[in-house]
Structure 1
Amino acid sequence: MTPAPLDPIAVRRAVEAALAEDLGRAGDITSAATIPANAVARAAIVSRSEGRLAGVQLAAAAFEALDARVSFSTERQDGDRLQKGSVVARIEGPARALLSAERVALNFLGHLSGVATLTAAFAERIAHTPAKACCTRKTTPGLRVFEKYAVRCGGGANHRFGLDDAILIKDNHIAVAGGIQAALAAAKAAAGHLVKIEIEVDDLDQLDLVIAEGADVVLLDNMSPETLREAVRRIGGRMLAEASGNVSLETVAAIAETGVDLISVGRITHSAPTLDLGLDIALG
């Protein structure tokens, strides 16, 4: 399923910044020197490996930003599974524009498809459970909205987008605030009626305090599957249970089978390998 389209303003700003970085002060001097100004080219973006697609909107914007005459026709949608050799899009237009936008388009597409691909691998490992793999704030500065979009393309779920859309009380907050009860009381007094409160716990004694005080979500940090299972039993559906802490493809299924609702996985954004995609071009 393809997520809702990205905000076109955010896409335009990101693409313009990336193009400005790449074109520098003098533009693409290689293409200007070697390609006739009136040359037209046809190209295809092709997947060199299997994966999950994300970022087509940014790739299209990169080509179209350099020349409005570029035609970008998609053959695959974000969220689609790709095989080696899958054609993602076909592009036609002024050759200089295609060559100058190529790297920016592929950088966005490869990186975001890599995030979607790794997310899909986690989602598939826990598909037999109700749990969802979700991202964190461990994102590339400036690319968070796109990386979180790619997580959705891969079948994952989004955690908060920033410090301003939910209250997440972590161990350092608890230490400075004076304990779980004090932190929760202060959070409830400050939160608006639409703001949810999540709090991190490290053991079952802390969990019991959270259950007594009440919260929307409890973050069960670095617990064994056995402890997670007991934590879920104690929670009894009174709040969402989220597991975190060095989650890997090897451990995620056992974590999901404990009954937690969410599993936060930082590596799906901060350590996803780039998906190999290329631009095959022919002058015409």
Structure 2
Amino acid sequence: MSQNLFEKSILKDMEYFFSEDDLSRNHSYISQLPDELVSCSLKIKDDMILSGLPYFVAAFNYLGAQLDWNIFKEYEGKQFSKSDLSQINFTLPFSLALTGERIALNLLQRSSSIATFTNKFATLAAKRGIKILDTRKTTPGLRGLEKYSVKQGGGFNHRLGQSDVWMVKDNHKSFFGGVKQAVEYFRNMNGFYTPIEVEIHDIDELKIAFDLGVNHLMLDNFTPEQIKEAISLKKNGVTYEASGGINLSSLESYLIEGLDAISVGSITYGAPSVDLSLKYQRD
């Protein structure tokens, strides 16, 4: 990973994140913060996959620090145990440590929480060769971070935006008058390299999608028994994705041979928080 390129790519994000603290309206506060170096310890206080260190480093460097990515890179994506009492040590000017601490920790905690939760799903699904996908149910302003975190946890990104894949959903079918009409609408957009995925709600719709030559099918709110029936009809070159309220407690029943992927919105919007802290003291 080129840390310099990464930091440049999220420069506007950092501007937005720090604008929430509105530091520009209190110049006297900023000017009077001491610049003496402090010894910092990032403490890992939970079982977790540590994710988001590029954002953590970029937050401080946005303020003018010169943190060396080489200090951190070996820890990114690593599994930690609470009992290890692990920590990452580095130094910063007190002014930058104090100013950047909360935003840096917020980003790191959010990313680590998602990566850790995703990994629970991905580890189970991988045993059956099934991929765990995220959705667009992300926090406004944090999609880049959250999608990155899913991959750090062993999951896969579904769509970064609406136009990555033309997704024919139930509202499209309702508006245009059915699967056939909705698929034709998107095909008429002439997106030569843009694939189409159809959200399927029953076996009859599945058969219509096959007749239309659609290769990517989301089996939405199908029961495990319905998925097995759909798999019995599956054609070569077709991808099946299951979706709809699948959680950790129900996941095992959906790990069915012939299913390619399971999309889980809760890995981004419902990830339980992990515990991290940043402590520092004067050298």
When the two structures are superposed, what TM-score results if normalisation uses the length of structure 1?
0.91
Q: Deviations over 1:150-182 (max 9, x none)?
A: 000000010011112110000110111111111
Amino acid at match of 2:210: I
What is residue 26 of structure 2 aligned with on the other side? 26
The separation in 2 between residues aligned to 1:53 and 1:68, in whole angstroms, is: 22
Q: Which residue of 1 aligns with 2:86?
A: 86
Shift of residue 69, structure 1, vs aligned partner: 4.7
Give the length in aligned residue pairs. 279
> Aligned equivalents of 1:65 and 1:269: distance in 2?
26
Q: TM-score, with normalisation over the residues of structure 2?
A: 0.91
Once the two structures are TM-superposed, the CA of residue 258 in structure 1 deviates from its matched residue by 4.4
CA separation of 1:154/1:184 partners in 2, compared to 1, >3 Å: closer, same or farther? same
Structure 1 position 280, deviation (Å): 2.0
Give the structure 2 partner of residue 45 of structure 1. Answer: 42
Q: Which amino acid aligns with 1:40?
A: L
Cα 1:216–1:99 shift into 2, 3 Å: same
Check conservation: 1:41, 1:283, Cα contact below 8 A: yes
The change in CA–CA distance for 1:196 and 1:57 in structure 2 (over 3 A counts) is same
Distance 2:247 2:271 in 1: 12
Q: CA deviation at 1:3?
A: 12
Alignment root-mean-square deviation, CA: 2.3
Check 1:256–1:195 CA distance in 2 against 1; reply closer, same or farther (3 A cut). same
Indicate the SS of the match to 1:220. strand
SS state at 1:13 partner: helix
Alpha-carbon separation, structure 2, partners of 1:204 and 1:232? 11
Contact 1:28–1:100 (CA under 8 A) maintained in structure 2: no
1:220 maps onto 2:228 in alignment: no
Contact 1:119 1:268 in 2 (8 A): yes
What displacement does 1:26 show? Answer: 1.2
- My pick for the range that moved more, 48-57 or 77-86, is 77-86
CA distance 1:130–1:7, shift in 2 (3 Å):
same
Give the letter for the 1:224 counterpart.
T
| CA distance in 1 between partners of 2:77 and 2:164 (Å) | 26
Q: Is the 8 A contact 1:52 1:116 kept in 2?
A: yes
Tell me if 1:181 matches 2:180: yes
Identity within the alignment, %? 33
Q: Taking structure 1 as reference, are residues 4 and 259 closer, same or farther at Cα in structure 2, changes over 3 Å only?
A: farther
Give deviations 1:20-56, integer Å, cap 9, x for gaps.
Answer: 2124321694x876x6x24210102121101112111
Structure 1 residues 251 and 199 mapped into 2: Cα distance closer, same or farther (>3 Å)?
A: same
**Is the Cα contact below 8 Å between 1:66 and 1:101 reproduced in 2?**
yes
CA gap 1:143/1:97 in 2 versus in 1, 3 angstroms: same
Structure 2, unaligned runs of 5 or more = none
Residue 18 (structure 1) shift: 1.4
1:126/1:256 contact within 8 Å kept: yes
1:73-106 C-alpha deviation (Å, 9 max, x unpaired)? 216433211222222x322121111111110100
- Map 1:200-279 to 2 at 5 A: 200-279=199-278
Structure 1 gap ranges (5+): none
Secondary structure of the residue aligned to 1:190 is: coil
